[in-house]
Amino acid sequence: MRYLITNKTISFLLFASFTILISCTPIQLKPTPTAELNPSTEAQSLASSSTIKAVQKTPSSNVNLSKNLWSRLFSLYQFPTIENDRIQAEIDWYSKHPDYLIRVQQNAKPYLFHIVNEIEKRGLPGELALLPIVESAYKPFAYSHGRAAGLWQFIPSTGVAYGLKQTWWYDGRRDVYASTNAALTYLTKLSKRFDDDWFLALAGYNAGGGSVSSAMRKNRRLGRPTDFWALSLRKETRHYVPKLIAIASILANADKYNVTLIDIPNEPFFEKVNITKQLDLARAAELAEISIEDLYILNPSFNQWATSPEGPHYLLLPVSKSADFKTKLAVLPDSQRLKWVRHKVKNGETLGQIARRYRTTVTQIKQANPIKNNLIRAGKHLLIPTANYNNRLYASSADMRKSDIINTSRQGQKVEYYVQSGDSFWSIAKQYGVGVRSLAKWNAMAPRDTLRIGQKLVIWSQHPTHPSPRTQLASKRKNQTIRYTVKSGDSLYLISRKFNVSIIDLKRWNTLNKKYLKPGQKLKIIVDVTRT
């Protein structure tokens, strides 16, 4: 061929030239993400000792990662690996508590696949799947002193803002499916607010976006950096982001830290099953052939013995049980979805009293019976939807969980205290020399929850003393119930003044929805006999 090079010398020179050209060509690598570190005050020393590296994930020999969810999760990591004293302190703590890391993995097992799946769909950092460890230790019934609930620890107002209904029957903050969607939507919104800085977004999730923005504005005025590490935030938030980074690093480098990764298959644990209408949870467990405790673990959002009549009308069930459940539910008569009791109304009874007796709601009773304006007559019969089985079977319902907490034996002397007018958690805690948070916790409440006159509180006093005369009266149940007949000219205001009670309590005790009273109407009033 005419253009074939046959001269070996020329061929050698061409090859050598080509090799030199390749060696001189710059190779383009994806830059390692960086984070702005704080050069001021306390953060100056932190920044000077901090380094940022590309994320390193060391395969663990503890599990077969090819079929395990962990390898998939680690491949979704997006945070840079940051080394500083705050993160190292968290790594040291978790490294010294390997049993804790085992427990939170076991807690996460039913939910982690779903959460990783949702995070991957949205293209979010995989590390966010570990955020419930920081928030709730992956406990679905977790409830904080700040009134936050569920895996993602939504407070009531934020839950409502992100579509999580909270009713007597149902709390969407504990709904694994709904709360995960709400949390990832909220985190995405925060990341956009802070220009895709996930550390600031996470700080905002913990402290509120406004608090983070305020700290950033302050730093700008002082000419300081505005990254997470430079901000002056509350102590909890300062530890919040380092905790997540530490957990993500330890689990991704399990062998390095001598941590065991438990086997979590890379496959769905549960299926979302449409149930169309209200269903007794014990009946649902029976149809699915699982224990009711296991049903509540996947469906912790339901407060009572049944799903909510207003929805959502779905249950999360183990994948292995869902097909048989759907087949059985399809042929289940409506009469067997709930148990119905025929109740004869007694003289003086109210709908509220009947609803409390059967652990249902006034609305539910009214929907099942032709009732208008809350008026019922003695001698008439009502159909009441109620639990199919003994109350104790519904061990994870709100009432049963609260009862278990209150009845737990603790250190110190047990005191039963009945709330009086003017009481608060602070005043009662001070009187008995206990902490406000402890007092609330012993009673399955949060410090900001509302106390009701006559409500019984359990107090575990470390320094038992003789109760004051006021406490002695309280222990004898000085709050007594009376029946008052409304007279002509009476109003809620005048009656509240007469018996020294609040209008709100009058309405609550009698489920009053109207402003005006009728002469002859019977009212239930809980009277403090020492103040009338």
Query: Among 315, 318, 307, which residue's Cα sits nearest to residue 278?
Result: 307
CA distances in angstroms from 302 to 67, 269, 270, 366, listed in the order given: 33, 20, 17, 21
Where do the H-state alpha helices sit in 379-463?
Answer: 398-406, 425-432, 436-442
Is the separation of the CB atoms in 244 and 93 below 8 Å?
A: no
Do 367 and 309 meet the contact criterion of CB atoms below 8 Å apart?
yes
Q: Residues 273, 279, 281, CA angle at the centre, nearest 5°?
A: 85
Rounded Cα–Cα distance for residues 172 and 165 (Å): 5
Residues in the chain: 532
Sign (positive/negative) of CA torsion 304, 310, 316, 320? positive
* β-pair partners for 416: 458
- Residue owning tokens 């680690």: 74
- Tell me the C-alpha to C-alpha distance, in Å, between residue 181 and each of 42, 107, 210: 37, 19, 22
> Which residues make Cβ contacts (< 8 Å) with residue 260, sequence separation at least 6?
62, 98, 101, 102, 254
Strand pairing class (413-418; 456-461): antiparallel
Chain-centre distance of CA 295, in angstroms?
A: 17
Q: Round to whole Å and give the CA distance between 16 and 208.
A: 63
The active-site residue out of 127, 135, 271, 349 is 135
86, two tokens: 């705050």
DSSP letter at 59 equals P
Taking residue 530's Cβ as centre, other Cβ atoms within 10 Å add up to 13
What sign has the CA pseudo-torsion 96, 102, 262, 71? Answer: negative
Neighbour-count burial of 510, counting CB atoms closer than 10 A to its CB (0-12 exposed, 13-18 middle, 19+ buried): buried
135 catalytic? Reply is yes
Residues labelled as active-site residues: 135
